[in-house]
Amino acid sequence: MIIDIHGHYTTAPEALEVWRKRQIAGIKNPSEMPRASELRISDDELRESIESNQLRLMRERGLDLTIFSPRASFMAHHIGDFQVSSTWAAICNELCYRVSRLFPDHFVPAAMLPQSPGVDPVTCIPELVKCVEEFGNVALNLNPDPSGGHWNSPPLSDRYWYPIYQKMVEYDIPAMIHVSTSCNPCFHTTGAHYLNADTTAFMQCLRSDLFKDFPTLRFVIPHGGGAVPYHWGRFRGLAQEMRKPLLKDHLLNNVFFDTCVYHQAGIDLLARVIPVDNILFASEMIGAVRGIDPETGHSYDDTKRYVEAAQIDPEQRHRIYEANARRVYPRLDSALKAKGR
């Protein structure tokens, strides 16, 4: 089985974006604020949006299952207040849940949290509880910068985030550390802000003793870990200067990297530098990079091609494709075993 741990609902029916625009307009003019019940998307519309997009490509590329969360750039936690974020998160999470019910063999949901700048993360707990207990979510996406590129939240090691971590440990679910849209003109959303955040999140963990407080807490750093694997000597050296344990002892029981690196040399280096047990297959299909690479003639986000071509043995490839995901996402593993998979 090939499990893609990084999928977003980037092809949701147009009605979702129309409703969101009305919600944003309603922030300034409350009389225009739509009710959640005014968004009507049929099962047939959901099927069409999935069958002609994500599911079609999964079949073409030989992928079996995707951990599926709301579109990352649409989270936009910096827009409006907590109530705006709460309503928007609930809508987006329900759509991913409905997709998982329509295509139970191919999609498993992961939760978007209703974060809002300056608002206590404890306010996210009810939505997280609902998503895990009612929707069967196996993970969550945690935005370390709800401000949208201005970085005014405490680092991930701060006790500010502990209510979410406590719930993650209770449910035994990981978090993908994933920012959303940048509203800071210095940082392009997918070309800078995403990769900056990946690197920043890792460094925040490196500097801290977070995993002493939460030894079973698990973070997935997407997009190949930002700059981390490609400057591994720098991070090893910084840990040494800070008198931290070796990275393999200090972080790699808790921090994992995905394969959303859209060229062969990047995947090759990732597989050489990072232990195979810390690499999870992912594609972020129909996401930030959707074009055809003129050097290869294939889609940039067809990451399975890169893993197949990497100089690793079949057993290591199996761990990247399936075994590591089952270990890092225990609720996924339990669900698959219940289905005899």
Catalytically active residues, by annotation:
284
Q: Which amino acid is located at 112 in the chain?
A: M
Q: Scanning the structure block, which residue is given the tokens 């990497």? A: 310
Where is 133: in which H helix or E strand? helix 125-133
Q: Which of 251, 303, 294, 76 is nearest to 179 (CA)?
A: 76
Sheet arrangement for strand 111-112: 111-112, 140-142, 175-177, 219-221, 255-258, 279-280
Task: Quote the CA–CA distance of 225 and 255 in Å, as a whole number.
Answer: 10
Which two structure tokens, joined as six digits, stand for 220?
Answer: 């997935």
Query: Taking every pair of C-alpha atoms in the chain, what is the biggest distance, in angstroms?
Result: 61
In the chain, the N- to C-terminal Cα span, in Å, equals 9
| C-alpha–C-alpha distance, residues 137 and 98, integer Å | 12
Tokens at 231, concatenated: 């400057």
Tell me how far apart the alpha carbons of residues 7 and 108 are, in angstroms, rounded to a whole number: 10
